[in-house]
Structure 1
Amino acid sequence: MNSTSLPTMFFIGNDLNVNRLGYGAMRLTGQPGNFGRYADWEAGKQLLRRAIELGVNFIDTAESYGPGDNEELIASALYPYPDDLVIATKGGVLKTAPDSIRADGSSKSLRRSCEASLQRLKIDQIDLYQLHRPDPNVSFAESIETLAELQREGKIRHIGLSNVTISQIEAARQIAKIASVQNRLNLAERAGEEVLDFCTQHNIAFIPYAPLGAHPLKRGAPLANTEGTLTEIAAHHDMKPNQIALSWMLHRASNIIVIPGTTTISHLEENIAAASIALTADDIKLLNEAQAF
């Protein structure tokens, strides 16, 4: 059966044109728990530069990755930035240890986080600034109103959300334009598909985290080593299972921007190559129907 067409670009907020296979920089931090400075700083810089060479123009990070160290590494490697590079970061989460992390969506915290990210990234405006997660102890409206104020002040260009429900997206849209949503979703974990479908209907970029199923406190991606339908389709295309898993996400909806993370250039190159895979309608049907990987 003929392969399906695969859009390669998406406009975030209707004006930021990005390649739909980007890079999630979270792994370039200390371990465990993405805590502390990345152990091989120079290797991290080389990997980021290689990503740009391969056409990546969307990089996702967050203040809590380190905290702060990940943003500093990006600036160290890539500043002054290419004109088309879009850097997305997140605020509203405080991390003091690998296993000590909590939301703080207060106006004071978000303002401090935003200002600190601007300084670490060496920029005057953040392309896409995302609320890392809703804070149960702070009014959700307060968090969004603060982001809207920062946007009016010119400190952020577009507002994004992460770890949210449809009702929260709708509530946020009453206060400000929402350009993106970043929730967990991958071939084996599909609880986020209703949110994805909502975003697709409203032309909101959907940025699935853990696109290969990796756990934040564990190494490795479960979908990279598997058996069954995924492996069979991978063999047919002469690709690896993780590449097919990423390609499935790109085929799933045209507003998806996939951000696989890795610490090696060889895996980076594998991930980027997934954007060139043309899955057939039969491939997609089998992957959609498969229950286990």
Structure 2
Amino acid sequence: MTSQTITAAASGTWELGDLTVHRIGFGAMRLPQYGEALVADALPRDRDQAVRVLRRAVELGVNHIDTAAFYFSPLRSANELINRALGPYPDDLVITTKVGPGRDASGEWQAHATPGQLRGQVEENLRQLGRDHLDVVNLRIVGTGSIAERFGALAELREAGLIRHLGLSNIRPHHLAEAQHIAPVVCVQNMYGIDASPEQRELLDLCGEQRIAFVPFYSIAGTGRTAGATTGHSPEVHAVALAHGVTPAQIRLAWTLHQGPHVLAIPGTGDLGHLAENIAVGSLRLTEEEAATLRGTA
């Protein structure tokens, strides 16, 4: 694959409400730091390098960037890097952010936001990104309890014009049903990859049936999660990668896109080479036999 000439357009498109995005996007979680993301003592990434990666992503057709105000390391904030690199923003660029969790200035995690605190989180994202409204805001969930009060608070901010569309992250199917009684849901972000459980697959299928975008995270990292890409690839993954002349990480990403036209990828990196490889996956087509073989490794 000649990744240098392949753009995100090769992945096709999907709609987040009335916003059309390429199915290969960019996740900003790993952008502010080297090594493991979301830890208090992370080593800040070089600012100019992060800016170059963001600008190159947009040059290669990425028009969907996933971020959050709690994506930061000492000296570096993902939102402010995005603002610096891409503002004034292209008309077709869609920025999705998350609220719910919080971190204090030292990077330590705090209790999840109350309905009253969610407005402050939304306003912090607006300030950092330099926007007068947010394209998509996902409510990040922990646990199985009701989300009605918190999602309702975001729905009020949507009615006030601060948010254009709403989504959910890290949810169970009953959360989706509960939210939809309050306001439309345009996307669901959940952990998903080759080793997904049957329950995770059910939610992906449910979103497909309702034409809701499903946005998997850790599809490359797998069990590595915030530490980065897994090195524990199965022989089947290696074999398919060899057949296509690509890396095992690219095969893991291609497999998630193969799960349905409503699946959007948001791989993140601070490396220009890995960025090109991730975007090139949009032109990689697995056969049904290959997809079935990979599915059998779960």
* TM-score, normalised relative to structure 1: 0.90
1:149-180 CA-to-partner distances (Å, cap 9, x unmatched) read 00000000000110110001101111111111
Q: Once the two structures are aligned, what percentage of the paired residues are identical? A: 38
Instruction: Please state if 1:57 is matched with 2:63.
Output: yes
Instruction: Please state if 1:10 is matched with 2:14.
Output: yes
Contact kept in structure 1, 2:30 and 2:37, CA below 8 Å: no
Instruction: From the superposition, tell whether residues 284 and 217 of structure 1 become closer, same or farther in structure 2 (CA, over 3 Å).
Output: closer
Instruction: From the superposition, tell whether residues 235 and 135 of structure 1 become closer, same or farther in structure 2 (CA, over 3 Å).
Output: closer
Q: Which runs of 5+ in 1 are unaligned?
A: 1-5
Instruction: From the superposition, tell whether residues 185 and 98 of structure 1 become closer, same or farther in structure 2 (CA, over 3 Å).
Output: farther
CA distance in 1, matches of 2:111, 2:172: 16
Query: For residues 236-255 of structure 1, what are the structure 2 equivalents within 5 Å?
Result: 236-255=243-262
Contact kept in structure 2, 1:225 and 1:241, CA below 8 Å: no
Instruction: Please state if 1:121 is matched with 2:125.
Output: no
Contact kept in structure 2, 1:29 and 1:35, CA below 8 Å: no
Stretch deviating more after TM superposition (26-35 or 196-205): 26-35
Instruction: From the superposition, tell whether residues 104 and 227 of structure 1 become closer, same or farther in structure 2 (CA, over 3 Å).
Output: closer
CA distance in 1, matches of 2:99, 2:215: 16
For 2:168, which of 157, 161, 164 is the aligned residue?
A: 161
Instruction: Please state if 1:28 is matched with 2:31.
Output: yes
CA distance in 2, matches of 1:177, 1:92: 18
Instruction: From the superposition, tell whether residues 184 and 271 of structure 1 become closer, same or farther in structure 2 (CA, over 3 Å).
Output: same
CA distance in 2, matches of 1:26, 1:248: 22
How far apart are 1:53 and its partner, in Å? 0.8
Contact kept in structure 1, 2:213 and 2:263, CA below 8 Å: yes
Number of equivalenced pairs: 282
Residue of structure 2 in register with 1:140 after alignment: 147
SS at match of 2:187: strand
For 1:106, which of 93, 110, 114 is the aligned residue?
A: 114
Query: For residues 19-98 of structure 1, what are the structure 2 equivalents within 5 Å?
Result: 19-30=22-33, 32-35=36-39, 38-66=44-72, 69-96=77-104
* TM-score, normalised relative to structure 2: 0.88
Instruction: From the superposition, tell whether residues 135 and 232 of structure 1 become closer, same or farther in structure 2 (CA, over 3 Å).
Output: closer
Residue of structure 1 in register with 2:4 after alignment: none
Residue of structure 2 in register with 1:215 after alignment: 224
Contact kept in structure 2, 1:48 and 1:74, CA below 8 Å: yes
SS at match of 2:92: coil
Query: For residues 262-281 of structure 1, what are the structure 2 equivalents within 5 Å?
Result: 262-281=269-288
Q: Which runs of 5+ in 2 are unaligned?
A: 1-9
CA distance in 2, matches of 1:192, 1:168: 14
SS at match of 1:206: strand
Instruction: From the superposition, tell whether residues 288 and 170 of structure 1 become closer, same or farther in structure 2 (CA, over 3 Å).
Output: same
